Amino acid sequence: MSEPRQEPVPGTHHEPGGDAPPASDAPPQETIHVDRFEAAWMRIAAAVLAIFFISILVSAFASGFQVPGVYQRIDPTKLYEPGSPFADPGLRELAPGKYEAYIRAQIWSFTPNEIRIPAGSEVTFYTTSQDVQHGIKIQGTNINMMILPGQVSTLKAKFDTPGTYDFVCHEYCGQLHHTMYGQLIVEAEQVAAQ
Ligand SMILES: [Cu+2]
């Protein structure tokens, strides 16, 4: 299918040799002089950017770093209402070795403040705050996120090595902020083979 030919609109037709300057009047091409040391620093800056970009790719795809996602919005005044997963937070088993952990933060504690899972488990964490801004960092893992009132944040981690993983609030939330901590205990008993 061919487009219908456009007729030139009267008065807008560009006449050859009109206002465009003749090509012979164009200034001669000039090259920009870049000092030797300046050029070296430009190459170093480009190399540093490339290294940073590669390190982002390696951390995202090889080391499994994740950016905490906004899972949903939630009314912080309704966390205790029936049906809210934060009314009775804690660990839920979805399948052998697969868990979800709901953690509610409030001044100045986590609920629950102790979580036990068998080694080899994969846990998806969901967190929200009842009052002010908190944070959670689980030692030795990629779990490190803000806990905000009105927002449910989520991150996932796999726990292969038995041991005790402390978690703390890392966002100053008032006088007893330093008392806001808990423990995730990975028990030596392995997840049953599937
Ligand atoms: Cu805090």
Residues 97-107 pLDDT 10s:
999 999 999 99
pTM over 0.75: no
Q: How far is the CA of 159 from the centre of ligand 1 (A)?
A: 25
CB atoms within 10 A of CB 180: 23
Q: Is the pLDDT at 193 greater than 80, yes or no? A: no
pLDDT tens digits along 145-156:
999 999 999 999
What is the DSSP pairing of strand 134-138 with strand 144-147? antiparallel
Give me the pLDDT at residue 31, please. Answer: 84
CB 183 within 8 A of CB 165: yes
The torsion angles phi and psi of 23, rounded to 5 degrees, stand at -60, -30
70, amino acid identity: V
Percentage, residues of the chain above pLDDT 90 = 61
Q: Is the pLDDT at 187 greater than 80, yes or no? A: yes
Q: How far is the CA of 100 from the centre of ligand 1 (A)?
A: 23
Q: How far is the CA of 180 from the centre of ligand 1 (A)?
A: 6
Q: Is the pLDDT at 38 greater than 60, yes or no? A: yes
The answer to whether the Cα torsion of 143, 101, 88, 70 is positive or negative is: positive
Count CA within 13 A, CB hemisphere, residue 164.
Answer: 7
Q: How far is the CA of 109 from the centre of ligand 1 (A)?
A: 8
State the average pLDDT for the chain.
Answer: 85
Q: How far is the CA of 26 from the centre of ligand 1 (A)?
A: 67
How confident is residue 51, by pLDDT bands cut at 50, 70 and 90?
A: very high
Q: Is the pLDDT at 128 greater than 70, yes or no? A: yes
Three-state DSSP class for residue 176: coil
How confident is residue 174, by pLDDT bands cut at 50, 70 and 90?
A: very high
CB 99 within 8 A of CB 119: no
Order of strands across the sheet that contains 134-138? 114-119, 181-190, 163-168, 134-138, 144-147
Q: How far is the CA of 113 from the centre of ligand 1 (A)?
A: 13
